[in-house]
Each structure stands twice: as C-alpha cells, then as structure tokens.
Amino acid sequence: MKRRLILGERIMYVDPITPLNCVFTAKILGELEENNIQQALDKIQSKHPLLRMNIEMINKIPHFVPNDNIDQIPIRKVAFLSDSDWLKESKTEWYKLFNQNNKPLARLVWLKGNLESNLMLILPHCICDGTTIANLMQELLTLIDHPEQELQPYQSFSSVSELLPQKDLKQNLIKGKTFAALGRLFFLFKPTSEKRFNPNNYAINWKLSKEETNAFLNKCKTENTSVHAAICAIFIDAFKRLKQDKAHGKIICPVDIRRFIPGIKADTMFAFAPIAELKVPAGDTDIWQNARMLKANLEDKINKMDVAQLLKMSEFFHSTASKMIGFLRSTNGSHDITLSNMGLLNIRQHYKTFSVETIYSPTVAFPWKNANTLVVSTFNNQLDFSFMSEETFLREVDALSIKASVISLMTSDINEYANI
C-alpha cells in the first residue's frame, strides 16, 4: 500500500534531485563470504517493507510506493587499503541518489581485504534514524554469521493515525488547521532558498581510547550528570572558544520517539525525530555546572513532549514542507550544532568466523546552510565521534580546532578519574 511521506520523512527527503544519505560503517576482522552477505541483505529486505519500495512523486508529493519487481540490495566491492578508505567512500555515497527504477532504498559498500573489511550500509535519511541503521547493522552481522536464521516481517503503517491512540478528531482537525495557518504565515516572512550548495561537505572522525572513555564516564558520574549532557556542554564551550561572541551557546538534540509510540518497535524502520533545544547562559560559566543544568533541561523537555500530538499535528503542515526546506537551506540558524547521541550500540562484537573491531559513528551530509552535525556512539568501551559540516559554513580547519578543544576538555582529568 503506497503512502505519503510523513512530515519528518518529507523534510529529510528534501526533493528528487538532492541526496541526503546516512552511511554507517563497521570494521570486520575475519573472512566474509559474499553469498552470505547477499543472503543476509535479501532477508533484511524481506523483513522491512520500506526496502521493497521506491519513492515517487504523485501530484508533486513524495510517496512510498511498493515495487513487486524491486532488485536486491546491491553490493559494491572496493579494495580495502587503509583505515581512512571508509571516509572517502562515505563522501562518494553522500551524493548518490536513490532514484533508479527498481533499485531499493539501501545499498552496501564492501571495502574488502584479506582478513579485514569495512561493511558500509547506506540509506536515505528519510527512511532511517540512528536506531534504525544500528539495528540493520546488527541484523546484517547476525545473518552473515548464521545464514540459517530467519527474520520476522512486519506490516508497514499506511498513515500516522495507525500509530496513535484515537482522540477527538474534530478537536485535532481544528487545532491542526489553526497551527498550519500560523505556519504558513510564519514562513511568509522568512527567507527561503532553492539554492543547492556545492558538495563541500566533510566529516571528521575520532575516538577516545578505552582508558579515556572510562575516565570521562567516571567524571560524568562524579559530577552527577549524563554523558550526553556533558558532551553538549563541552561542544558548546568549544564553539565559544572558537567563535567567541558569535557562538550561540545552543545545541539541538533529536529525540528517539520509540519510547512514546508503542507501534514503532525497536526494529521498525522509522525516520521522524522531534528535537529538544538546549542552551547555556551567556558568559564564562563552569562546564560541569552547565552539564548538570542541560541534563535537567533535557529531561524536563522530553517529559513534556506530547509526541502523539506532535505527530498528528505535523500532518497538517505538508503545505509548508517546501518552505521549511527552503528555510533550512537559507538560514544560519540560532544553534551551534545538532547532536545525535546513539549511546551504547546494541551490536555484538564477536561472531563465529569474524569479529567487529570497531564501529564508526554514522556520517551524513546535510544540504542545509547550517550543516554542523555531531553523531556520537559507544562500542567496545570507546566513545566515537563523527563531526560533519560544510566548508562554506564552517571551515574544516575550524572544525579541527573544535575537535582539539573537545579532546582536551574530555581528557584533562584522565589520571584522576581513570580508576574510580
């Protein structure tokens, strides 16, 4: 059954000629068989309805449309030469559209070596969030290791209403139309652009060592704050060090809504994530004091989220979707960076014939004017960071300066907190 993209998916789709892809990479030690990889991808495709669909414009609105003649998820093989190859291949995959007839909304790049490889999953952002792509990687690795295992398919929803509890539809209709009218009025006075920026996006990836990660986690516990809030406070401080008064002191955090919507399971492919904006006071304040404040603020904002209502109301804003996208393409925004924290990855390390040496946090090249994005994940007791932006908005040399400040702030007390 075809369905219109919901608003969050619609924004991440952008338009038919603008790619917005997520790339998620695992480094594998051991031997892999191509037949096992393809068979695993086939089973994953059979489980997830969105991987058997294409996106088609119907009356100028993008729809997911089932395709009974869909091809297999393709594998592109490249020789594994160094541990930096995945970043080069990521940039190639950022700019490749998923727009070919009968081709699925996923592909795999296999950086193939003798006893070490990279497996790179690539999906358009409009069908996946961090939870989705991590789950797909775990399914892939499990099925490569156990080719006999089967996956249980599920039915895709046909509208937002199927995911939500039944409420007073008349009240929702009146409220939705009112908010939609206000939205159109808001964007009427906002600059928008159809400009497509040159492909000058970049990604910087780094890890803390196991010892540094452990010390940082201990420091967060001692300071009575969360790892997420501490990372927020540290990056805000690093931006202030670089930009001084031009820094905003604000960070945007997408929130996984699966905890609020029972119909969206942990292994359901889904892309919509409401955001929480976090801001620290102006002036020179203590990073850890800020981290405690941000932790409390984030918890408060998440507790106050009415995600069911937000999903329902968003369906009234489709008429302004193009304006929203144009606004994102034209505005500097009022935030320093968007942070997506995937947390501790639910991906096994050891398998029968191979092991996962490391996971690199996903990379993505947003086509927005403010493309500053940070994705953080933890695997094998190591924090991993992928920091992305676009050269004309934040020079890569400045991003490297921010990285240096962040590492310094995170590891300054390593000896004091190493053995707590």
Helix (H) or strand (E) holding 234: helix 227-243
Which amino acid is present at 63? H
Q: Which CATH architecture has domain 169-417?
A: 2-Layer Sandwich (3.30)
Please give the residue that has the higher pLDDT: either 240 or 166.
240
Average pLDDT in the 261-288 region? Answer: 90
Helix (H) or strand (E) holding 79: strand 75-79
Domain boundary assignment for the chain: 3-145, 169-417
The 3-state DSSP class for residue 171 equals helix
pLDDT band for position 169 (cuts 50, 70, 90): very low
Per-residue pLDDT at 238:
97
Per-residue pLDDT at 387:
98
Cβ neighbors of 120 (< 8 A, separation 6 or more) are: 23, 24, 25, 86, 89, 90, 93, 108, 109, 110, 111
CA distance 266 to 253: 19
Q: Are strands 75-79 and 107-112 parallel, antiparallel or unpaired?
A: parallel
Per-residue pLDDT at 173:
53
CA distance 239 to 250: 10
Could you check whether 3-145 and 169-417 share the same CATH topology? yes
Share of the chain above pLDDT 70, in %: 91
Per-residue pLDDT at 191:
57
pLDDT band for position 185 (cuts 50, 70, 90): very low
Per-residue pLDDT at 146:
96
CA distance 375 to 25: 13
Render pLDDT for 350-395 as a digit per residue (tens, 0 to 9): 999 999 999 999 999 999 999 999 999 999 999 999 999 999 999 9
pLDDT band for position 307 (cuts 50, 70, 90): confident
Per-residue pLDDT at 181:
47
Per-residue pLDDT at 182:
46
pLDDT band for position 51 (cuts 50, 70, 90): very high
Cβ neighbors of 29 (< 8 A, separation 6 or more) are: 115, 116, 354, 355, 356, 357
- 180 pLDDT above the threshold of 90: no
Per-residue pLDDT at 277:
97
Rg of the chain over all Cα atoms, to the nearest angstrom: 21
Per-residue pLDDT at 171:
52
Q: Are strands 61-66 and 21-30 parallel, antiparallel or unpaired?
A: unpaired
Average pLDDT in the 94-110 region? Answer: 96
Exposure of 32 in the CB half-sphere (CA atoms within 13 A): 26
pLDDT band for position 6 (cuts 50, 70, 90): very high
Q: What is the pTM of this model?
A: 0.93
Which amino acid is present at 244? Q
Average pLDDT in the 42-50 region? Answer: 98
**What is the secondary structure of 7-65 as a DSSP string?**
HHHHHHH-BTTB--EEEEEEEEEE---HHHHHHHHHHHHHH-GGGGEEEEEETTEEEEE
Question: With respect to CATH, is domain 3-145 assigned 3.40.50.300?
Answer: no
Question: Are 330 and 191 in contact, with CB atoms under 8 Å apart?
Answer: yes
The 3-state DSSP class for residue 410 equals helix
**What is the secondary structure of 89-157 as a DSSP string?**
HHHHHHT--S-STT--S-EEEEEE-SSEEEEEEEEEGGG--HHHHHHHHHHHHHHHH-TT------PPP
Per-residue pLDDT at 354:
97
Render pLDDT for 107-152 as a digit per residue (tens, 0 to 9): 999 999 989 999 999 999 999 999 999 999 999 999 999 999 999 9
Question: Which residue matches tokens 């992305």?
Answer: 388
The 3-state DSSP class for residue 226 equals coil
pLDDT band for position 282 (cuts 50, 70, 90): confident
Mean pLDDT is lowest, of 48-62, 178-192, 335-349, for 178-192
> Average model confidence (pLDDT) for the chain?
91
- 12 pLDDT above the threshold of 60: yes
